[in-house]
Structure 1
Amino acid sequence: MSSSVRESPPAHPCSPSDGALHMECHDRYFMIAVALSFTGEDPRFEAVDRVGVHPITKQNEAKCGYCVTVLPLLGHVELRGSYFSCHTDRDDGDFTFSFNLITSRDGKEVVYPLNKTCSPTLPWSPREVTCAINYMEVLLQSESSCSVGMKTDQTAVAPTPGAVTSDWQVTFEREQEQMPAMNLSEARRQGYMFDLTDGLIVFRTSYGQPDSFMTEVNGIPVEKVQATLFSKQGWLVLMVEVVAACSMYSGSYDDGHMLWKTPEVLYSGLSSDRLRAGLNGELVDQSITEKEGYLVKTEDGTVEISIRYDAAGGYRKSFVAGNLYEFYLFHFFLEQVLLDEDDVKTVVRFHRALITPLLHCPIYVQNQTVLEEQLFTVYLGEVPEDVTLTGLQLNGYQCDVLCSNTSTYNVTEVVHANNTRGYTLKVPFSNPFVIKQFFSEDSVLQYRLDINYTLSVEPQNEVYFHMASIVAVFTGVSPPVFEAVCLDSGISFKLDHKPFDYLWDVTIGSELLTSEMADRHGYIMTNDSQTLQLEVPLFTPGYTYADISLKGFVGTFEILVQDGETSAVQTSTVKKCSFTSSELIVCSTDGRMTVVADVSLAIPKEGKPASTTLADKYCGPKDADESRALFMFPLSSCGTIVKIGKKNVTYQNEIFYKNYYNVDRLGSANDTERVIVQCTYPLASLHLLFSRLKFESDAVGTGRIIHTKQATAGLKGPAIKPTVAPETTPATKRPPAKPVAFLPPVHRPGRYFSRFYNLANRMTKGTNSSMKMYAVQV
């Protein structure tokens, strides 16, 4: 190593925490690993000995038996050192390593001292060759040097303890060419390291030196260095032949396995005795290696190592490059024992970093949805341990993964023993994010959930998006259909519930059918998990009436089934029933009043209902029987009186017996019943009346038939007085017919008074009607 020595900055009193620092003694090397999160991006090491502090640089680390590797994707920096590396203190079989770790904090260098003493338990072999990642090292024991290559002209002897390295020279042989000799000091300056102390000879060189050469053995590239050490001591010439040969096969990948090869015999005259392999400097038995996923075999003079890509002991890392990829790194270790003809052992050890090519990360999405649960269940699997789920989009809506345990969606993490994790996502079909489509032609209901997972690769926080689309399909689905039955008092509707009825809205007109709405309109509704029963009494809102006569009428009621999202009508149930009623009043949206009224108490004993009229004596009944009369007339005719309220407009008329002026002469001095008929419309629903002079209401009117008593003695003509919302008790001899009670919607107070007054006069001007105009705001 270079003799560069410098004074180090003051050491930091603390060492890195246990989680950030690992120091390990192996059989033939020492290792330090420090987390980059602690060191920063540019950590450095210094070797410390009795002389001083020596920086470890790229120029001298291999020469001195060190290998410093920064592995940002694995998140740490690693230093490996040979037991015979420079500046290591050797004392009776113990090896003490002292280093400084230099980091940068806030622009200042911070130094942390690191120390470790190792005592290898494995005895040293007569010759050991180490093919490290960045250098070759040969160790010879002097007591067995005669049998491993020390020679004189006739006899080989060991170097004496008194010999000094300055007495030795070295020459290299390169492809049968002998290089000029040089002393060991010159060899060190050229990058070679020789150590001839303590009965050992240690030779070390980095790969690619000028005096090394490449060759092929069984098609495998091999780098070889062949040197001869010699020293003249008196009349003796001591010579030591030092040979280092290492396979330079870089590795290959095939069908999920990483492959590495070396010639079975790298040194001539030797035979292979044993092979053992392992990872991270630890050797294991062959039966265990096969179980753990790597296999050693010898075939045709070649040793081949096969390591399954996910074998135990390897390092795995994810990263993003458009897609999500992964690679596996193995610190592979192979030990080969060779024997010569005298059974003298040579041990060759290979340390190699094998890296797989980029592999697509096998993240997958599994649809675990059970339709009967009405719930999407989606599993995101094989998520590596260095990848986490940080975001989620459901059909374009951003969702918070950290606060996912809600009624609308739920995310659960599942951790597996193979260093992967999974995420289970549950989303109810009723979630507003879920897209629902109903195909009426095929009776198919489809739910779709488009998922965009946001994944983050640690520690560099690279973002990757993984997308999936999940579809749940139900067949034989159709909108609900009611059964309808005619009753004497109205119409009854029944619906047997099916699983997907909740997808549709049931409406009457534009109103959603609810229990509150049914109560407000006078419907009778019961609804449980199995059946919806709705009884609609006659003359409640929602009916339409046709074919009205004295014999009866047809009442029609319609229930609509609409799409819950688009409000498009999917089906309708229309029921028409024939009814009879003693009295009936209908106020149509086109401004007509139809009345069937009992006038038996409003006429004299000898009178007939056919002789009755409205306020205009020329407006008689369309039909009559012994007690009732049928009138059909426009609201703007027959003497109808118009009354304006804050919210409503009321059209009122009265039924008279046409010979009313002869009542006394006919001998009826008793009180006579008055029959008042009226239709009330919401004021705001008549906007077309003011803009186009045309009666057209947005809603049907509310009709009433009022029976009240009034003395008729001296009566000279029609006597309809302006009253406010007349309310009287009907005659006791018969109950009044139920009115058609369509409740008008609530609108703003009347604001059409003056315009309506003028319009009403124009509508009645020029007629022969005796209609009187009242504009009373109540």
Structure 2
Amino acid sequence: MAFVFWFGVFVLLSIWPSVRCSDLPRGAIETACRDRYLLVTTQLSFAGNEPRFEAIDADGVHPITKQYGSECGYMFSILPLSGHAELRASYFSCHTDNQDDEVFTFSFNLITIDAKGVETTYTVNANCSLPLPWSPREVSCEENYMEVSVRGDVSGLPGTKADNWTAALATAHSSATSTWQVMFQQEGQQLTPMSLSEARELGYVFYLTQGRLVFRSPYTPGSVMGSVTMVNGMLVEMVYPILVSRQRWVVIMVDLVVACSTDEGMYDGAGLVWQTPTLLSPLVSGLFGLESSNISMGVDGQLLDEPITAERGYSLDIGDTTVQISIPFNAAGGYRKSFVMNNMYHEFYVVRLYYEQTFMDDSGVETRLRLHRPMNTPLLIQHISIINQTVLEDRVFTVYLGNLSYDVDLVAVKLNGHNFTIPEANKSGLVITMVPQPNSTLHAYILRVPFDAVIHKLYPTEGLLEYSLEINYTLVILPQEEPYFYLASVVAQFNDVFPPVFKGVCNEKSISFQMDHKPFDYLWEVGVGPYRLTPNLAAKRGYVMRNDSKRLTLEVPLFSVGFTYKDINLKQFRGTFEILSRFPKTLEVKSSLAKACLFQTTEVIVCSTEGVMTVVSMILAIPGSEPSRTSLRDSTCMPQAMDDTRVLFSFRLDTCGTRVQFDYQHLTYENEITIEHTSQSVEAPVSTRVTVRCVYPLSGLYKLFAYRRFEADSPGFGTILTRVPVKN
């Protein structure tokens, strides 16, 4: 179940190009003496190349390869933590100086290689004193080997069925020599003695210390003298060697059976579960009164007391036949490792379980079992958590990105299409903060974006305002800095948000507008036609505009740009001025007020968008004038209405003799009102001519040229020029 590319012994397969020695960096390499092994941990940067160890003794330097480590009592592994590796060396490892089984001296070379291919060698030395007295028999179940040691004065230790022991004894009497030999007990096979050197060639190691006899076996070696058996439904690997030697008439036999549970654990959706038989029958079968006296658990090679295991959520269930250990996902003591696959964030959770059990037989002889077992979940798709923590009154988007492992960093964000690195974001008024996640080893990021920054604003329905933020997080998986992109979007809504409301009042010669300011007025712009109402536009057109913190007022004088006129007669006409509220970006009109007022007619000229000129002209000031004898340049074009003081003409711009003039920006239509009258100074009749003119911007008359149809985008600008007397 374990991933071999994260755990396993580093195999020396290469010849490195260059080597240099270096002093040990402070804190980069640490050693710790544990109950039965030395622990060496390193935080040195690997630069993509795994380090390796060499054991040193009086005979020279010995590279610790995968096979050599399993035969000689070394376990080297790379942990999920970036740049973290460790070596566990048994007190009985091959090149350790052993003083009376009490003091153990270790010497290693740690070799790293940088990105340029240059090797650096660090020397690691350590001395360990035995912290806990040896039990008569001790079994160590490492990740890559099994080891058993027995007290030198103990023979025929528990673990052998009587009939098996009788068969071994008979073989030993008939074939044993004065030199030590070994027989491997296997189900259904005849016992065959072999020399210790022959056993060493098969991967099995035997040696005698000052007071202990040690046997070490790799798991399932190439020439298998061991076996895998089922005990209470669980796999147990066993190697059963019997050492024999004839000393004159005495045959010495030592039982060195070793057995280890090989259960790799499982992930049940909530955590990791590991099981082992309560009694390992290969170690204890056939013994009356033998029982398990104590069981403890821990992680990373250290046992934990019950309060700590309870606090972390670990459980240790001891039954008559089975011991079960459960560790919840992401519990303290484990490690999480992240991956990116198809831009999906995956991870697995790893626990390096440590298990210790003691057995006691009815004679008081103790067997102590210690087991190291890495367990990990399968690759899991990890769902990042996004929480919108925005408080509307703060007018700042606050977005929580959580459930990130220690090896995941946020390096950039894209906000509504705008890219920011983390330093750029913080310089731009945005705030990105990394925070620890409560009660876990995870961390999170909090992103704060003010509403007036890069936020999109939308007014989807009447009275509803939405602020939206599309976020593309750029995360990297360390140490390889593999990128991962995560998309999220958040929305903040405000209700009862309406466009500005205007009130209009008719004056004698103007229309006045008033708007009381509200909190969200800034979302809209006030417009007149296609133009935004600004102080500059108001001054240019002659509007009177006042704007303070409470309200906006606008007075529009009659005949200003923006007025439209209807129902013109000699007494009155209707003037209309429209003011708009619209979105600045889309210019979508959300509300408007077209205020229409009746004004008294004096002298008026109106140039309509349909190409009609309407003129009311005063003739009272011309003595002897006769309204009935008033016409345009085309004398057949007579007034539509008249009284004693005024005449009203309304005609199409392509009729009644109207002249057309062009320049680069305007199209000017011009006609004349001819008023015939008598003069005391002149005996003949006299005519007075009044020039009337409509001017249209060429840019608004594209339909006139494209379709030969007069249709202007806006009314033209009309003028009535000075009267000119003319003799008939």
Instruction: Calculate the TM-score normalised by the size of structure 2.
Output: 0.83
What letter is aligned with 2:446?
Answer: T
User: Does structure 1 conserve the Cα–Cα contact (< 8 Å) formed by 2:332 and 2:441?
Assistant: no
Distance between the aligned counterparts of 2:396 and 2:249, measured in 1?
A: 96
Which residues in structure 2 correspond to 1:19-98 (within 5 Å)? 20-35=28-43, 37-38=45-46, 40-71=48-79, 75-91=83-99, 93-98=102-107
Which of the residues 364, 370, 383 maps onto 1:343?
A: 364
The residue that corresponds to 2:504 in the other structure is 484
What letter is aligned with 1:376?
Answer: F
Which 10-residue stretch deviates more, 167-176 or 588-597? 588-597
Q: Deviations over 1:299-356 (max 9, x none)?
A: 1232222222222222221112332122122221111122222323221111111122
The residue that corresponds to 1:300 in the other structure is 320
> Number of paired residues?
688
Distance between the aligned counterparts of 1:22 and 1:175, measured in 2?
A: 45
The residue that corresponds to 1:574 in the other structure is 594
The residue that corresponds to 2:677 in the other structure is 659
User: Does structure 2 conserve the Cα–Cα contact (< 8 Å) formed by 1:13 and 1:112?
Assistant: yes
What SS does structure 1 have at the residue aligned with 2:71? Answer: coil
User: Does structure 1 conserve the Cα–Cα contact (< 8 Å) formed by 2:623 and 2:679?
Assistant: no
Q: 1:673: Cα distance to partner?
A: 12
Structure 1 pair 348–505 and aligned structure 2 pair: CA distance change class (3 A): same
What SS does structure 2 have at the residue aligned with 1:579? Answer: strand
Distance between the aligned counterparts of 2:184 and 2:706, measured in 1?
A: 115
The residue that corresponds to 2:407 in the other structure is 386
Distance between the aligned counterparts of 2:471 and 2:186, measured in 1?
A: 65
Structure 1 pair 591–325 and aligned structure 2 pair: CA distance change class (3 A): closer
Q: 1:396: Cα distance to partner?
A: 4.9
What letter is aligned with 1:62?
Answer: S
The residue that corresponds to 1:767 in the other structure is none
User: Does structure 2 conserve the Cα–Cα contact (< 8 Å) formed by 1:74 and 1:317?
Assistant: no
Q: 1:171: Cα distance to partner?
A: 2.2
The residue that corresponds to 2:171 in the other structure is none
1:185 and 2:205 correspond = no
What SS does structure 1 have at the residue aligned with 2:620? Answer: coil
What letter is aligned with 1:50?
Answer: A
Which residues in structure 2 correspond to 1:740-755 (within 5 Å)? none
Distance between the aligned counterparts of 2:47 and 2:98, measured in 1?
A: 29
User: Does structure 2 conserve the Cα–Cα contact (< 8 Å) formed by 1:552 and 1:578?
Assistant: yes
User: Does structure 2 conserve the Cα–Cα contact (< 8 Å) formed by 1:435 and 1:449?
Assistant: no
User: Does structure 1 conserve the Cα–Cα contact (< 8 Å) formed by 2:110 and 2:124?
Assistant: yes
The residue that corresponds to 1:256 in the other structure is 270
User: Does structure 1 conserve the Cα–Cα contact (< 8 Å) formed by 2:152 and 2:212?
Assistant: yes
User: Does structure 2 conserve the Cα–Cα contact (< 8 Å) formed by 1:603 and 1:657?
Assistant: no
What SS does structure 2 have at the residue aligned with 1:660? Answer: strand
Structure 1 pair 10–586 and aligned structure 2 pair: CA distance change class (3 A): closer
What letter is aligned with 2:437?
Answer: H
Structure 2 unmatched runs, 5+: 1-14, 167-176
Structure 1 pair 40–458 and aligned structure 2 pair: CA distance change class (3 A): closer
Structure 1 pair 584–90 and aligned structure 2 pair: CA distance change class (3 A): same
Q: 1:651: Cα distance to partner?
A: 5.6
Q: 1:387: Cα distance to partner?
A: 0.7
What letter is aligned with 1:41?
Answer: N
Distance between the aligned counterparts of 2:118 and 2:554, measured in 1?
A: 84
Which of the residues 120, 128, 140 maps onto 1:118?
A: 128
Structure 1 pair 524–184 and aligned structure 2 pair: CA distance change class (3 A): same
Distance between the aligned counterparts of 2:232 and 2:591, measured in 1?
A: 82
Q: Deviations over 1:637-683 (max 9, x none)?
A: 767777777755666666665233554469x9xxx997744325156
Q: 1:547: Cα distance to partner?
A: 2.1
Structure 1 pair 321–697 and aligned structure 2 pair: CA distance change class (3 A): closer
Q: 1:88: Cα distance to partner?
A: 0.5
Q: 1:126: Cα distance to partner?
A: 2.2
1:423 and 2:431 correspond = no
User: Does structure 1 conserve the Cα–Cα contact (< 8 Å) formed by 2:675 and 2:689?
Assistant: no
Q: Deviations over 1:606-655 (max 9, x none)?
A: x6655656677766544444444434455667677777777556666666
What SS does structure 2 have at the residue aligned with 1:566? Answer: coil
What SS does structure 2 have at the residue aligned with 1:549? Answer: coil
What SS does structure 2 have at the residue aligned with 1:600? Answer: coil
The residue that corresponds to 1:731 in the other structure is none
What SS does structure 1 have at the residue aligned with 2:21? Answer: coil
1:630 and 2:639 correspond = no
Structure 1 pair 615–109 and aligned structure 2 pair: CA distance change class (3 A): closer
User: Does structure 2 conserve the Cα–Cα contact (< 8 Å) formed by 1:453 and 1:466?
Assistant: yes
Q: 1:104: Cα distance to partner?
A: 4.2
Which 10-residue stretch deviates more, 70-79 or 546-555? 70-79
The residue that corresponds to 1:137 in the other structure is 147
Which of the residues 102, 110, 113 maps onto 1:101?
A: 110
Structure 1 pair 663–652 and aligned structure 2 pair: CA distance change class (3 A): farther
Q: 1:86: Cα distance to partner?
A: 0.4
1:169 and 2:190 correspond = no
1:277 and 2:327 correspond = no
The residue that corresponds to 2:717 in the other structure is 702
What SS does structure 2 have at the residue aligned with 1:125? Answer: coil
What SS does structure 1 have at the residue aligned with 2:45? Answer: helix
Structure 1 pair 85–590 and aligned structure 2 pair: CA distance change class (3 A): closer
Which residues in structure 2 correspond to 1:364-763 (within 5 Å)? 364-405=385-426, 410-416=431-437, 418-429=440-451, 434=456, 436=458, 438-439=460-461, 444-475=464-495, 477-604=497-624, 621-633=639-651, 658-660=676-678, 663-664=681-682, 676-682=690-696, 684=698, 699-706=714-721, 716-717=727-728
Q: Deviations over 1:397-429 (max 9, x none)?
A: 544444113668543332336332222233455
The residue that corresponds to 1:242 in the other structure is 256
Distance between the aligned counterparts of 1:349 and 1:696, measured in 2?
A: 97
Q: 1:119: Cα distance to partner?
A: 2.0
Structure with larger Rg? 1
User: Does structure 2 conserve the Cα–Cα contact (< 8 Å) formed by 1:437 and 1:446?
Assistant: yes
What SS does structure 2 have at the residue aligned with 1:59? Answer: helix
Which of the residues 344, 352, 363 maps onto 2:384?
A: 363
The residue that corresponds to 2:347 in the other structure is 326
What SS does structure 1 have at the residue aligned with 2:67? Answer: coil
1:314 and 2:324 correspond = no
User: Does structure 2 conserve the Cα–Cα contact (< 8 Å) formed by 1:679 and 1:701?
Assistant: no
Structure 1 pair 10–700 and aligned structure 2 pair: CA distance change class (3 A): closer
Q: 1:498: Cα distance to partner?
A: 4.7
Q: Deviations over 1:734-755 (max 9, x none)?
A: xxxxxxxxxxxxxxxxxxxxxx
Structure 1 pair 195–581 and aligned structure 2 pair: CA distance change class (3 A): same
RMSD: 3.8
Residue identity over aligned pairs, in percent, reads 45
Q: 1:84: Cα distance to partner?
A: 0.7
User: Does structure 1 conserve the Cα–Cα contact (< 8 Å) formed by 2:506 and 2:512?
Assistant: yes
